[in-house]
Structure formats: structure tokens, C-alpha cells
């Protein structure tokens, strides 16, 4: 039962939160896990706030509605305000500290500050902030293997955009490094 993990990706429309969630879901499925990807949909998709939830489990997944997800990656302030309070006690909150200058002020969860936009700009394009965040999340949680993640990324981007693939890979590297540092910093809380 405890083998089920949930993560919410939330941000503005256009920040790539849906894509990040999908790539994680593809990767987990590739590794033989049960997965479900649940989007917010409707007018929200047209430039407003967007979010998706990914559930990964070793056994059949029940409810797609999650009262209290284990973790969330929030890309903007409204998403922090909405999902911060929902995280399960002991859970993880990944905050895009490039755009959010506050925290949830909760002391029963672990908050991890990832300057996703700054790192994305560093590798050449703020659009890959989603991949920086995804890599940081994967590094800290170990939910899937980077090797598989990279393979699925290559498969999704295909041969059509070689430079995009390279950019995303660089974003992964930055996210991984950020995740490693955070992992060391919060080693006690993360066990």
C-alpha cells in the first residue's frame, strides 16, 4: 500500500507542467509501474493555472482523486498557495524559487527550493524550467531512474529537434545537481 506515490505539478499555462508530469508517467510505466496522469482541463489550459497529478504504484491504482498528495512541484505563487497546504504530513514541496519568494510556512513537510527558471536560463532557455524541476524531483525521490527518463525524453522528442533534446538534457543535469545539493542539505528530514 505504501508503495503508492503521488506528485502534483502546478504552474501557469505554458510553464510545461503537463509535459513534465507526462514524461514522469511515461518513465514510470516504462519501468513496469502502474501509473495514472490526471490533468486539470478546460479554460485553465488556455494560459491560466494548470496542474496535473501523477500517481505511481506497484499495484492497481484506485482513486484518481488525491486528498493529500505526497509531494508537489509548484512553479508559481498561486500554485504554492493552493497545493502547499494539501501536501501530506511528512511530504515534499518543491518550490520554483526563481519565481516564488515565499514558502508554505509549514514545519511538517520538507520544502526544497529549486531556482528552476534561473537554471533554465543558464542552460539557454527558460522554457526548460519544467525539466530542471522534474530532474530535481527525480534526484531527491529516486522514483525513477535517470537512464529511463533520458530514454523516454529521447523517444518523445524523437529525431525532429536535436537541439531541443540537448537543451532538455542540459536542464536535466542542472536539475540533478540542484537535487543532489538539496538532498545533502535536507538529509536528516529526507532520511
Partner 1 sequence: MAGKKLMKGNEAIGEAAICAGVRHYFAYPITPQSEVAEYLCWRLPEVGGAFVQAESEVAVGNMLFGAASTGLRTFTSSSSPGISLMQEAISYMAGAHLPVVLVNIIRGGPGLGGILPAQGDYFQAVKGGGHGDYRVGVLAPSSVQEAVDLMILAFDLADKYRNPMMLIGDGMVGQIMESVEFPETNREDNDPIKSDWALTGALNRKPRVVKSLFLNPDLLEENCLLLEEKYKRMKENEIRYELYKVSDKNRLLIAAFGTMARICQTAIDELEREGVSVGLFRPISLFPFPEKEIYAEAGKKNIEKILTIEMSVGQMVEDIERCVKGRKPVEFFGHTGGIVPTPNEVKDKVRESLGLKK
Is residue 37 a contact residue for partner 1 (CB under 8 A)?
yes
**Residues pairing with 153 in the sheet:** none
**Binding pattern for the stretch 64-83 against partner 1, x by CB under 8 A and - elsewhere:** xx-x----------------
Is residue 22 a contact residue for partner 1 (CB under 8 A)?
yes
- Can you read off the three cell numbers belonging to residue 126? 527558460
- Whole-number Å distance between alpha carbons of 111 and 97: 11
Is residue 86 a contact residue for partner 1 (CB under 8 A)?
no
Determine how many CB atoms are found less than 10 A away from the CB of residue 69.
20
Phi, psi of 154 (to 5 degrees): -60, -45
The beta strand positions in the chain, using DSSP E, are 5-12, 34-39, 49-57, 71-74, 92-96, 110-114
The nearest distance, CB 121 to partner 1, in angstroms, is 30
Place of cell 542539505: 185
38, 113, 157, 165: which one binds partner 1 (CB under 8 A) = 38
The nearest distance, CB 93 to partner 1, in angstroms, is 20
Is residue 157 a contact residue for partner 1 (CB under 8 A)?
no
62, 90, 124, 142: which one binds partner 1 (CB under 8 A) = 62
If we measure between CA atoms, which residue out of 29, 27, 26, 83 comes closest to residue 51? 83
- Count of residues near partner 1 by CB under 8 A: 19
Is residue 112 a contact residue for partner 1 (CB under 8 A)?
no
Place of cell 537512464: 147
Is residue 29 a contact residue for partner 1 (CB under 8 A)?
yes
Place of cell 523516454: 152
The nearest distance, CB 47 to partner 1, in angstroms, is 16
Is residue 63 a contact residue for partner 1 (CB under 8 A)?
yes
Q: Which residues bind partner 1 (CB under 8 A)?
A: 1, 22, 25-26, 29, 34-39, 41-42, 61-65, 67
Amino acid at each position: 500500500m505504501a508503495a503508492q506515490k503521488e506528485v502534483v505539478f502546478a504552474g501557469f499555462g505554458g510553464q510545461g507542467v503537463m509535459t513534465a508530469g507526462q514524461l514522469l508517467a511515461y518513465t514510470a510505466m516504462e519501468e513496469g509501474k502502474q501509473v495514472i496522469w490526471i490533468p486539470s482541463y478546460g479554460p485553465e489550459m488556455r494560459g491560466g493555472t494548470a496542474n496535473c497529478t501523477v500517481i505511481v504504484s506497484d499495484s492497481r491504482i484506485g482513486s484518481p482523486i488525491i486528498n493529500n498528495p505526497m509531494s508537489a512541484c509548484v512553479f508559481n505563487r498561486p500554485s504554492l498557495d493552493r497545493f502547499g497546504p494539501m501536501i501530506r504530513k511528512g511530504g515534499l514541496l518543491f518550490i520554483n524559487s526563481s519565481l516564488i519568494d515565499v514558502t508554505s510556512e509549514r514545519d511538517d513537510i520538507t520544502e526544497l527550493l529549486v531556482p528552476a527558471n534561473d537554471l533554465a536560463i543558464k542552460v539557454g532557455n527558460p522554457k526548460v524550467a519544467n525539466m530542471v524541476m522534474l530532474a530535481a524531483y527525480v534526484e531527491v525521490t529516486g522514483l525513477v531512474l535517470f537512464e529511463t527518463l533520458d530514454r523516454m525524453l529521447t523517444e518523445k522528442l524523437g529525431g525532429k529537434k536535436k537541439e531541443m533534446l540537448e537543451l532538455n538534457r542540459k536542464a536535466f543535469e542542472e536539475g540533478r545537481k540542484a537535487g543532489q545539493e538539496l538532498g545533502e542539505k535536507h538529509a536528516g528530514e529526507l532520511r
